[in-house]
Chain A
Amino acid sequence: MSHLGDRLSALVDGELGGADRDRAHAHLAACEQCRAEAAELRTLKQKLRGLMDGAPAEAAMTSRLIAMTGPGGPMPPRHRLLRVVPGRRPAPPRPGSRRTWPGPRRRRYLVLGTVSLVVGLGTAAFTAGGGGDAAPGPRITPSVEMYSVEHAITTGEVPFPAPTAELSSGAPSP
């Protein structure tokens, strides 16, 4: 006597029809081994379905958790958390007080915040990026008078007057 084999799982899944389904039922009536296998398959299938039925609940919880991290007030400073008096619990939220952000509004706030951040950071970077490549350093006014004398020593020529040198009338008298 041959057992149902692969046809057993097809039967459990409801995929057999017509004469095949009748012959499979007739075999199950006479074969205790195949009945036991069919029972195990059905049990396994029910467990899997149960898991699948629980998944939407998990997804809903995940959505709620994500919603809690949406735009809201600033996080309290860390030191304030440390100063909470032990044993004094925060007041439970009033029923219906949990703020839920509608999707379009939340997106609007996200876009607005992102744009503000980009514009602010860009403005700050553009302003801070001015002033040339030079690292901050002392403001130098070239001492042309000193340079002129040094250049004259180098070249063997006469020093020339500095741009700011005050001139007075008169004639040289060696």
Chain B
Amino acid sequence: MRATVTQVTRSARTGRAPLLLAAALAVAVPGILVSACSSQSGSGPAGGDAVSAAGRAAAAGKAPVAARRPATVRAVRLLTQAAQAAITTSYQGREIVTRWSQGSGSVLVSSIWHASGGQTVTQTMADGASLSNQSYLSSDTDGQSPEGVLGVTAPLVQLLESHYVVAYAGTGSADNRTAQVVEAWRSDGSMAARFWLDDATKLPLEREVFDTTAHVIGQDVFIDVSFATPRASPQQAAASASARVSADPQGPWTDPLSRHELLALRARGWPVPSELPGGLSLFTGAETKARAGTVLDLGYSDGLSVVSVFEQRGNLPASLTGWQKTKTGGHVVFVAEPDQRALTWSGHGMVFTMVADAPSQTVEAAIGALPHDGPTGFWKRMSRGLVRVASWVNPFH
């Protein structure tokens, strides 16, 4: 077969060489021009070859090791350095968080102060119009899990490496600073995310997240960044003072529980799935004591999408102020306004609240994988009622 192809090719070469040369140029020249333009435009990466290789590798499912390994190793090293820099570097600036979902978008603008190895203070505006009264102080006293680092933390970098093909994509620019660009590709060959890491400090400066159809569904941009130790301005001091109240209104969270400890919670009646649809793995969790009982936080991620599931025993009231009742994936849930990043519902004597940074399809699938109180049929309701009535008249109950 191979010989036949070779023979035909040779025959074509001998008979139609000028025509083939023109066709090759017609295909190759626009491609070269497009590639050159994209590598020079704005903050785009300059390492197109490595990115293309990684993309082809991801598309093929098993990439040529020689083509993938150097870019991947460098990308993992850069992301690891970025996660560390987010802890050890002192910085301040403003972060613009934009999310698009199902034709609508939301924008948050946060001011961030972080001291090296210390805590992080964030002050958030909604829709870029109004400043929230609430400022949030990180409750991790050791400063090991700072907020506002564009999702670049050590655990998420590990998950990202295992769920996606990461590749170094060259240099670019973000916030008028030289940046190293790292991309994450899905196994189907589509790009999942692109990171801009500050060349000097490796601090994450920008992140774009794409869906499977190459549409941007999330963009986080760090602007007006300065790397000096943040001075405790009066505003910051006031923010910190109020933040201590707002961040932990019902008590501190425990240290992160291990996966083994989390799965052991099943024996105490907590629904703790080890995975959620969309390739989300259980990777962290914690507990806290609220007035109405224990609250369990379960963190699921694939390195890029993160879904936090909060569980608490009890039931939801009929209506919730600031929430809107809607139907998602066939289930009735409450959605928090205004940005709809939080959803809550009750099922099997438990209240589930999901806070998600993930595509809507992933969120919908994750909601469907957790318990719900479905519509009760007539006979099921009668059966349940008879049991309850019997329990009322049972003198030994």
Contact = CB atoms under 8 A, between A and B. Distances in A.
Contacts of A164: 321-322
Contacts of A153: 138-140, 145, 147
Given A133-B373, A140-B316, A156-B145, A127 B150 contact: no
Interface in B9-56: none
B154 to A, nearest CB: 9
B395 interface: no
Nearest to A124: B389
B89 interface: no
A124 B342 contact: no
Contact of A143 (B113, B156, B290, B317): B290
B248 A142 contact: no
Contacts of A162: 134, 322, 336
A174 B220 CA distance: 19
Given A132-B315, A134-B346, A163 B323 contact: yes
Of B233, B315, B338, B348, chain A has the most CB atoms within 10 Å of the CB of B315
A160 B386 CA distance: 46
Given A154-B306, A154-B308, A161 B122 contact: no
B147 A158 contact: yes
B147 A159 contact: yes
Contacts, number: 237
A143 B248 CA distance: 10
B349 A134 contact: yes
A153 B310 CA distance: 14
Interface string B350-368: 1101010100000000000
Given A142-B351, A156-B148, A132 B376 contact: yes
A138 B349 CA distance: 9
Contact of A152 (B147, B310, B344, B376): B147
Interface residues of A, number: 51
Contacts of A127: 385
B151 interface: yes
A174 B336 contact: no
A171 B131 contact: yes
Given A156-B156, A157-B151, 9 more contacts: A125-B382, A130-B376, A141-B320, A145-B246, A148-B136, A162-B134, A174-B94, A174-B111, A174-B230
Top 8 A-B pairs, shortest CB-CB distance: A129-B385, A163-B322, A125-B385, A129-B381, A167-B130, A172-B111, A140-B314, A128-B385
Interface of B: 86, 92-95, 97, 108-113, 122-126, 130-134, 136, 138-140, 145-153, 156, 220, 230, 233, 235-236, 246-250, 253, 284, 286, 288, 290, 292-293, 295, 297, 299, 301, 306, 308, 310, 312-317, 320-323, 336-339, 341-342, 344, 346-351, 353, 355, 357, 373, 376, 380-386, 388-389, 392
22 contacts: A126-B381, A128-B385, A129-B382, A134-B315, A137-B314, A137-B315, A140-B316, A140-B346, A141-B316, A142-B342, A147-B297, A150-B297, A155-B357, A156-B150, A162-B336, A164-B321, A165-B132, A167-B130, A171-B131, A172-B123, A173-B111, A174-B93
